[in-house]
Amino acid sequence: MIKKFGLPPTMFYLNDSNNPNTYATSRISNQNFPDGTVLIGFSLIQQECLHSPSGTCSSFPIVMAHEFAHIADFKYGTGLTGKHKELFGDYLAGCFMYFREVEFKSTFVQEAAISFFQKGNHSFNGPVHYGIPQQRYT
Ligand SMILES: [Zn+2]
Protein backbone atom coordinates (compact mmCIF):
# COMPACT_ATOMS: atom_id res chain seq x y z
CA MET A 1 0.00 0.00 0.00
CA ILE A 2 2.88 2.33 0.80
CA LYS A 3 4.25 1.64 -2.69
CA LYS A 4 0.94 2.21 -4.45
CA PHE A 5 0.22 5.47 -2.67
CA GLY A 6 3.84 6.62 -2.52
CA LEU A 7 3.20 7.70 1.04
CA PRO A 8 4.77 6.17 4.15
CA PRO A 9 2.70 7.25 7.15
CA THR A 10 3.46 6.05 10.64
CA MET A 11 1.01 3.32 11.61
CA PHE A 12 -0.13 2.28 15.05
CA TYR A 13 -2.65 -0.17 16.35
CA LEU A 14 -5.41 1.42 18.35
CA ASN A 15 -7.47 0.05 21.20
CA ASP A 16 -10.80 1.18 19.79
CA SER A 17 -12.72 -0.77 22.45
CA ASN A 18 -16.00 -1.77 20.89
CA ASN A 19 -16.18 1.20 18.56
CA PRO A 20 -14.59 -0.19 15.36
CA ASN A 21 -12.68 2.51 13.58
CA THR A 22 -9.51 3.61 11.90
CA TYR A 23 -8.21 7.14 11.75
CA ALA A 24 -5.81 9.16 9.67
CA THR A 25 -4.26 12.35 10.91
CA SER A 26 -1.73 14.77 9.48
CA ARG A 27 0.14 14.61 12.80
CA ILE A 28 3.71 13.47 12.33
CA SER A 29 4.51 10.83 14.94
CA ASN A 30 7.87 9.83 13.51
CA GLN A 31 10.11 12.13 11.47
CA ASN A 32 11.14 9.16 9.31
CA PHE A 33 7.54 8.90 8.13
CA PRO A 34 6.55 12.52 7.56
CA ASP A 35 3.25 12.02 5.76
CA GLY A 36 1.04 11.64 8.81
CA THR A 37 -0.25 8.86 10.98
CA VAL A 38 -2.76 6.06 10.55
CA LEU A 39 -4.36 4.41 13.58
CA ILE A 40 -5.79 0.94 13.04
CA GLY A 41 -8.44 -0.25 15.47
CA PHE A 42 -8.24 -3.80 16.79
CA SER A 43 -12.01 -4.17 16.88
CA LEU A 44 -12.28 -2.84 13.32
CA ILE A 45 -9.95 -5.60 12.12
CA GLN A 46 -11.99 -8.11 14.09
CA GLN A 47 -15.28 -6.83 12.67
CA GLU A 48 -14.07 -6.84 9.08
CA CYS A 49 -12.84 -10.42 9.45
CA LEU A 50 -15.94 -11.61 11.29
CA HIS A 51 -18.09 -10.28 8.46
CA SER A 52 -16.01 -11.83 5.72
CA PRO A 53 -17.99 -14.61 4.03
CA SER A 54 -14.92 -15.47 1.94
CA GLY A 55 -12.74 -15.74 5.05
CA THR A 56 -10.18 -13.42 3.43
CA CYS A 57 -10.95 -10.20 5.35
CA SER A 58 -10.98 -8.59 1.89
CA SER A 59 -12.55 -5.37 3.10
CA PHE A 60 -9.81 -4.59 5.60
CA PRO A 61 -7.09 -3.54 3.10
CA ILE A 62 -9.67 -1.43 1.30
CA VAL A 63 -10.56 0.31 4.56
CA MET A 64 -6.84 0.93 5.05
CA ALA A 65 -6.63 2.35 1.52
CA HIS A 66 -9.37 4.80 2.50
CA GLU A 67 -7.15 6.00 5.35
CA PHE A 68 -4.15 6.27 3.02
CA ALA A 69 -6.32 8.44 0.78
CA HIS A 70 -6.79 10.80 3.71
CA ILE A 71 -3.01 10.88 4.11
CA ALA A 72 -2.73 11.78 0.39
CA ASP A 73 -5.34 14.48 0.94
CA PHE A 74 -3.34 15.92 3.85
CA LYS A 75 -0.16 15.94 1.77
CA TYR A 76 -1.53 17.29 -1.49
CA GLY A 77 -4.47 19.30 -0.17
CA THR A 78 -7.52 18.57 -2.28
CA GLY A 79 -9.52 21.22 -0.46
CA LEU A 80 -12.43 18.79 -0.18
CA THR A 81 -14.55 18.85 2.95
CA GLY A 82 -17.31 16.83 4.57
CA LYS A 83 -18.74 13.93 2.64
CA HIS A 84 -16.73 14.85 -0.45
CA LYS A 85 -13.53 14.32 1.52
CA GLU A 86 -14.82 10.91 2.64
CA LEU A 87 -15.99 9.90 -0.82
CA PHE A 88 -12.58 10.93 -2.21
CA GLY A 89 -11.14 8.41 0.27
CA ASP A 90 -13.56 5.80 -1.02
CA TYR A 91 -12.66 6.62 -4.62
CA LEU A 92 -8.94 6.08 -4.05
CA ALA A 93 -9.74 2.96 -2.02
CA GLY A 94 -11.66 1.69 -5.04
CA CYS A 95 -8.63 2.40 -7.25
CA PHE A 96 -6.46 0.49 -4.82
CA MET A 97 -8.96 -2.38 -4.86
CA TYR A 98 -8.66 -2.55 -8.64
CA PHE A 99 -4.85 -2.73 -8.53
CA ARG A 100 -4.98 -5.26 -5.70
CA GLU A 101 -7.29 -7.48 -7.70
CA VAL A 102 -5.08 -7.25 -10.80
CA GLU A 103 -1.95 -8.13 -8.84
CA PHE A 104 -3.18 -10.64 -6.29
CA LYS A 105 -6.49 -11.91 -7.66
CA SER A 106 -7.62 -12.38 -4.10
CA THR A 107 -9.85 -9.41 -3.41
CA PHE A 108 -13.52 -10.18 -3.02
CA VAL A 109 -14.76 -6.88 -4.43
CA GLN A 110 -18.40 -7.40 -3.48
CA GLU A 111 -17.41 -8.13 0.11
CA ALA A 112 -15.45 -4.88 0.34
CA ALA A 113 -18.24 -2.91 -1.35
CA ILE A 114 -20.81 -4.24 1.13
CA SER A 115 -18.55 -3.24 4.03
CA PHE A 116 -18.44 0.33 2.71
CA PHE A 117 -22.19 0.29 2.10
CA GLN A 118 -22.71 -0.57 5.75
CA LYS A 119 -20.48 2.32 6.83
CA GLY A 120 -22.57 4.89 5.01
CA ASN A 121 -24.99 7.06 6.93
CA HIS A 122 -27.74 9.59 6.46
CA SER A 123 -26.64 12.00 9.19
CA PHE A 124 -26.41 14.94 6.80
CA ASN A 125 -26.10 17.40 9.67
CA GLY A 126 -23.92 15.25 11.92
CA PRO A 127 -20.30 16.01 12.73
CA VAL A 128 -19.09 13.70 9.95
CA HIS A 129 -21.22 12.65 7.04
CA TYR A 130 -19.47 9.89 5.11
CA GLY A 131 -21.93 9.70 2.28
CA ILE A 132 -25.06 7.61 2.06
CA PRO A 133 -24.66 3.83 1.86
CA GLN A 134 -25.15 3.69 -1.94
CA GLN A 135 -22.51 6.41 -2.51
CA ARG A 136 -20.00 4.51 -0.41
CA TYR A 137 -20.81 1.24 -2.15
CA THR A 138 -20.39 2.81 -5.57
ZN1 LIG B 1 -12.51 8.71 6.13
What does the pLDDT read at residue 26?
A: 95
Distance from Cα 137 to the centre of ligand 1, integer Å: 14
Domains of the chain by residue range: 2-137
Distance from Cα 70 to the centre of ligand 1, integer Å: 7
Summarize pLDDT for 98-125 with one digit per residue, the tens. Answer: 998 898 887 888 999 999 888 888 777 7
pTM: 0.91
- CA–CA distance, 70 with 44 (Å, rounded to integer): 18
What does the pLDDT read at residue 36?
A: 96
Distance from Cα 54 to the centre of ligand 1, integer Å: 25
Mean pLDDT of the chain, nearest integer:
91
Distance from Cα 64 to the centre of ligand 1, integer Å: 10
Distance from Cα 120 to the centre of ligand 1, integer Å: 11
Summarize pLDDT for 16-48 with one digit per residue, the tens. Answer: 998 999 999 999 999 999 999 999 999 999 999
One-letter amino acid of 137? Y
